Structure 1
């Protein structure tokens, strides 16, 4: 009799475990994607460091971070509560770093960096803390060269 009474209970538990596993797997369906090659820029350029979720997920209400571990403070750009957080941003990037806020609903977290400087060269981290997911982007900065004229 004990075996019969445990049958339905075991089936209910099994269904619950499978349901929980499916929920866990579905949460991590989107993946943060960055470029596979370094981004190359010339001093003075305006450039985009690509980073997006695939498939697209609305991240406008999430916290988003762009950082460089070799900087202090390390924050190049922070989006929190639907706005740019300036008080923790590295001073070198104030007024030069931005997101395409109208594209956050499509999962585009790409960083726009204006007036690139040699000191901007390095490895950038695009990070979504809620998802504990990141993507790295390498920026290589070269000096602009003038054409050489000879007689």
Structure 2
């Protein structure tokens, strides 16, 4: 019976351990109740300090609780600069649009597949330059409220450069480069085949109605240059550029072909004009010849008639003289 007290001590230790485990589980359950969350124990994690979006694309703003907690019954708000500027509102297990700012209507989409784990995301469609600025997301439930803040930066990577032949000027060929849809203001550079910068003849970078930059620049390349010339446009904010290369030999070949076409076209036109003038001249002379022949025949005809009339009158006059002579010789 000496071991009996030891048995009681072991039993008491086991009972005490079970009680401690139960109390620990109970404490954990109390901590995880949404209505009794301690704001010091949970934080809201946003997408980061900065978010980059391209004009016309969509951007996503993910937010979650740390540590993860069911947020299905919480109020989740995405706002612009301040809470009163509502971008998107989730409340009472549904999305409310009555307080949403006009510029975000029909452009937001809530992704809540993992809301039970405290993770949600807001998609903003058709990004514009006006969307650039400060954003935040806020989780609130009972005594708990937390938010995350970030900056949305918007950029535009414009269209591919287009080089066109403008004509021949100052002993060389004038090339023009155009592109649009850039933001912020881009940098443009002409270069030859060796990478050397070419001084532009003209350069204009202006904003369009959407606030995006459109550029137009030209350069004169001297004749005899049978190498590549490039127009490069760079967005320094994105660290990206677009480039277009043209081969000068092909352009001058186009010039030769153009002048040949103009020469032969002019020559054919002159020949046709000469032939037409020749035909008109022949027709004119032929008409004049026929008119003269007709006048000549008419004159000869009139002359014959006049001669006949004159002969007739002479004959008639002689007959009258004979009659008069006869009358004088006849006695009464």
Tell me whether 1:94 sits opposite 2:105 in the alignment. yes
Tell me which of 46, 70, 73 is aligned to 2:58.
Answer: 46
Question: Is the 8 Å Cα contact of residues 77 and 89 (structure 2) preserved in structure 1?
Answer: yes
Give, in whole Å, the separation in 2 of the partners of 1:109 and 1:122. Answer: 21
Residue equivalent to 1:134: 147
Tell me which of 142, 150, 156 is aligned to 1:143.
Answer: 156
Within 5 Å, give how 1:1-151 maps onto structure 2: 27-28=38-39, 29-69=41-81, 74-130=85-141, 131-148=144-161, 149-151=244-246
Q: Comparing both structures, which one devotes a greater share of its residues to strand?
A: 2
Residue equivalent to 2:222: none
Residue equivalent to 1:12: none
TM-score of the pair, normalised by structure 2: 0.36
- Structure 2, unpaired ranges of 5+: 1-26, 162-243, 247-332
Following superposition, the deviation at residue 142 of structure 1 comes to 0.8
Following superposition, the deviation at residue 27 of structure 1 comes to 2.4
Give, in whole Å, the separation in 1 of the partners of 2:81 and 2:46. Answer: 17
Following superposition, the deviation at residue 84 of structure 1 comes to 1.0
CA gap 1:44/1:104 in 2 versus in 1, 3 angstroms: same
Question: Is the 8 Å Cα contact of residues 49 and 149 (structure 2) preserved in structure 1?
Answer: no
Give, in whole Å, the separation in 2 of the partners of 1:58 and 1:32. Answer: 13
Question: Is the 8 Å Cα contact of residues 118 and 141 (structure 1) preserved in structure 2?
Answer: yes
Give, in whole Å, the separation in 2 of the partners of 1:74 and 1:113. Answer: 15
Question: Is the 8 Å Cα contact of residues 113 and 120 (structure 2) preserved in structure 1?
Answer: no
Cα deviation 1:48-76 (Å, max 9, x = unaligned): 112111121111111111111379x6100
Runs (4+) off by over 3 Å: none
State the Cα RMSD in Å: 2.4
> Partner of 1:59: helix, strand, or coil?
coil
Question: Is the 8 Å Cα contact of residues 112 and 121 (structure 2) preserved in structure 1?
Answer: no
- Structure 1, unpaired ranges of 5+: 1-18
Give, in whole Å, the separation in 2 of the partners of 1:36 and 1:77. Answer: 19
Ranked by relative contact order (alpha carbons within 8 Å, sequence separation 6 or more), the top structure is 1
Question: Is the 8 Å Cα contact of residues 78 and 88 (structure 2) preserved in structure 1?
Answer: yes
Give, in whole Å, the separation in 2 of the partners of 1:30 and 1:70. Answer: 22
Cα deviation 1:103-140 (Å, max 9, x = unaligned): 21111132211111111111111012332210002110
Q: Comparing both structures, which one devotes a greater share of its residues to helix?
A: 2
Question: Is the 8 Å Cα contact of residues 100 and 108 (structure 1) preserved in structure 2?
Answer: no
Following superposition, the deviation at residue 26 of structure 1 comes to 6.4
